[in-house]
Copies of this chain bind each other. A is one copy, B any other.
Amino acid sequence: MPRVLDLDALVERARAGDPRSVGRLITLVEDGSPRLRELMAALSDSAGRAHVVGLTGSPGVGKSTTTSALVRAYRATGRRVGVLAVDPSSPFSGGALLGDRIRMQEHATDPEVFIRSMASRGHLGGLASATPQAVRVLEAAGCDPVLVETVGVGQSEVEVAGEADTTIVLLAPGMGDGIQAAKAGILEIGDVFVVNKADRDGADQTARELRHMISLGMSGEPGAWRPPVLKVVASRGEGIDALVAALDEHRGWLASSGMGDARRRQRARTEIQGIALAALQARFGGVGSGDVLEALAADVAEGRTDAFTAADRIVASVAG
């Protein structure tokens, strides 16, 4: 006889900081378990407990190394730390994740550090759906901060900024001069910019160009946050204390300016919309008899109708 999952007991143990229970709850999130709604209802009062720090940048800038150095710094002050490493899911991700695990290995046996890799693809809206739910689990388990590390530039960075209280954008010398950073659309999303591998040639110039581009984009409003540009060598832990100080300073600014609440409301809005849209989208396939969407797609692909007319039919049948 299969055992029925005792969700209440699992939640209770996770709240007490039991790593195995936390892991099982995040698996429920990742799998989109039928019990997910119940879980989220049970955890709703934990919303907003932790400082959620997003960390993003192109492949190769040293995200995992920097995350690991941050974990070390936070642990030195006695804080319980959660880490979500969000990877695009891929048949190849086994290899990539292995690399992460090696870099994070020094924390693997620390019961006060919760590390979890998550796939981002397959969820409607990428990060939007599963990440806030996994963050909620880590908040309930008493983690503060929760670090959310994600790969890539462009859309996934914009998304990580949507999920975090504070977003770190990581660059490396020679990979991210000002124009390239602007082109990648990352200047507006960073609350704190970090030039990693600052012992390499070009670090000063990259930092200078970044500061210049950031100053061009500043509104100049009084009380606005001015994103600092820090230089670190994460592999040796250099500059990490200053980074932690900058993160704490931003957290203070979020609280005093009211922006923290505004960002959390925006995040909740995105989460609700994502779930609502997924629920509506799930109805598209089954409209009428047979797969109407499939037939309409063939009509559009072969030029018999246009996508707006096709969408009208879908909307009418779902929403009346």
A91→B59 contact, CB < 8 A: no
A and B contact pairs by CB, cutoff 8 A, 18 listed: A41-B305, A44-B306, A58-B59, A88-B155, A89-B185, A92-B188, A96-B179, A96-B182, A151-B184, A265-B294, A265-B297, A268-B300, A268-B310, A272-B311, A273-B293, A273-B311, A276-B315, A283-B319
Chain A interface helix/strand/loop/mixed: helix
- Further 6 A-B residue pairs, CB within 8 A, beyond A40-B308, A275-B308: A37-B308, A59-B153, A89-B185, A91-B188, A151-B183, A280-B318
* In contact, B92 and A213 (Cβ under 8 angstroms): yes
Which chain A residues (266-320) contact chain B, with CB distance < 8 Å? 266-269, 271-273, 275-277, 279-281, 283-284, 293-294, 296-312, 314-315, 318-320
CB-CB under 8 A from A275, the residues of chain B are 307-308, 310-311
Q: Which residue of the partner chain B has the closest CB to A59? A: B180
Determine the distance from Cα of A176 to Cα of B59 in the docked complex, in whole angstroms.
8
Q: Is residue A108 contacting chain B, with contact meaning CB distance below 8 A?
A: no
Chain A interface residue number, banded: 35 or more
Are the CB atoms of B151 and A301 closer together than 8 Å?
Answer: no
Nearest residue (CB) in B for A314 is B276
Complex formed: what's the CA distance from A253 to B176 in Å?
A: 38
Tell me the complex Cα distance, A280–B168, Å: 33
A304's partner among B44, B99, B272, B318 (CB-CB below 8 A) is B44
Q: Return the contact of A153 from the options B40, B152, B187 (Cβ within 8 A).
A: B152
Residues of B within 8 A of A268 (CB): 296-301, 307, 310
Nearest first, the 7 A-B pairs at minimum CB distance are A152-B154, A88-B185, A155-B155, A92-B182, A96-B183, A268-B300, A275-B311
